[in-house]
Amino acid sequence: MADELVRPVCQSSAVKPKLPKGVITSYVLVVVVVVVSVVVVVVVVVVSVVVVVVVVVVVVVVVVVVVAVVVVAVVVVVVVVVVAVVVVVVVLLVVVVVVVVVEVVVVIAVVIVVVVVIVVVVVVVVVVVVVVVVVVVAVVAVVALVVVVVVVVAVVVVVAVVVVVVVVVVVVIVVGVAVVVAVVVVLLAAGAAVVVIVIIVIVTDVIFSIVLYISYSFLMFVRTTHQILPAPISTQR
């Protein structure tokens, strides 16, 4: 028994054993599987980075669009308010000028009529009646003119206020719709990114499991077929 145990040791020290072709093929297959798994991991990382970049670009575009809509809405409101104020001021100036001119003309006419009546008519009663009539007509004309001016100014102011309110309401509605659309787009982009990342993680896990199982199967095949790897501890004992 001692000779039989010593002889394989001497032979193994004298002659170097060569690996069978099956073992080399098995190791080559294991290396190929490892390289494929590394390539899959790199592809998964690149896809994840691309998805994150796309989500960031979508969010930035949505924010820029919302800011542009808000700026345009503010500019429209400012322009409408300025135009309304200018229109009101111009109307008021025109009304004031008209009132002043009419009052001056009325006063001049009254003076002329009074002078003519005094010069032409000698009778005091006739003069008084004419003067009273002229004064009453002048007062009525001035009152009517003031009423017309007040009505015109009120109408202009009301129209300007209505236009401003309508423009502000429309701008608020547009801004609200833009904000809602932006929030929906951001939520959809984030949800899509999460779904893609979850799918990538699941696929990566499955691929790694398959690669580990194939590697383990090749190693077990090599150990059991060519007996190169050491046996388990329980078997050695």
Q: Position of tokens 């294991």?
A: 30
Q: Is the dihedral of CA 15, 16, 20, 21 positive or negative?
A: negative
Distance between CA 6 and CA 4 in Å, rounded?
6
CA 194 to chain centre: 20
Domain assignment of residue 13, yes or no: no
pLDDT computed for residue 21 by the predictor? 61
For residue 216, give both structure tokens: 């383990």
pLDDT computed for residue 159 by the predictor? 93
Domain assignment of residue 88, yes or no: yes
pLDDT tens across the length of the chain (237 residues): 444 444 444 444 445 556 566 667 777 888 888 888 888 888 888 988 999 999 899 999 999 999 999 999 999 999 999 998 999 899 989 988 988 898 888 889 888 888 887 777 666 677 678 788 888 888 898 899 889 989 999 999 999 999 999 999 999 999 999 999 999 999 998 889 899 999 998 998 898 889 888 888 888 888 787 655 455 544 444
Helix axes 21-120, 124-226, angle to 10 degrees: 180
For residue 12, give both structure tokens: 């193994």
Domain assignment of residue 169, yes or no: yes
pLDDT computed for residue 38 by the predictor? 86
Domain assignment of residue 20, yes or no: no
In order, the DSSP letters of 207-235 are: HHHHHHHHHHHHHHHHHHHH--SPPPHHH
pLDDT computed for residue 122 by the predictor? 62
pLDDT computed for residue 227 by the predictor? 57
Domain with 131, as residue range(s), is 30-224
Domain assignment of residue 186, yes or no: yes
Domain assignment of residue 8, yes or no: no
Alpha helices in the chain (DSSP H): 2-14, 21-120, 124-226, 233-236
Domain assignment of residue 205, yes or no: yes
Q: Position of tokens 């080399």?
A: 24
Using CA atoms in the order 13, 18, 20, 23, what is the torsion angle rounded to 10 degrees?
80
Residues with Cβ within 8 Å of residue 121, at least 6 apart in sequence: 127, 130
pLDDT computed for residue 173 by the predictor? 94
Distance between CA 43 and CA 40 in Å, rounded?
5
pTM of the prediction?
0.50
pLDDT computed for residue 14 by the predictor? 47
Domain assignment of residue 237, yes or no: no
Number of domains in the chain: 1
Which amino acid type is present at position 191? G
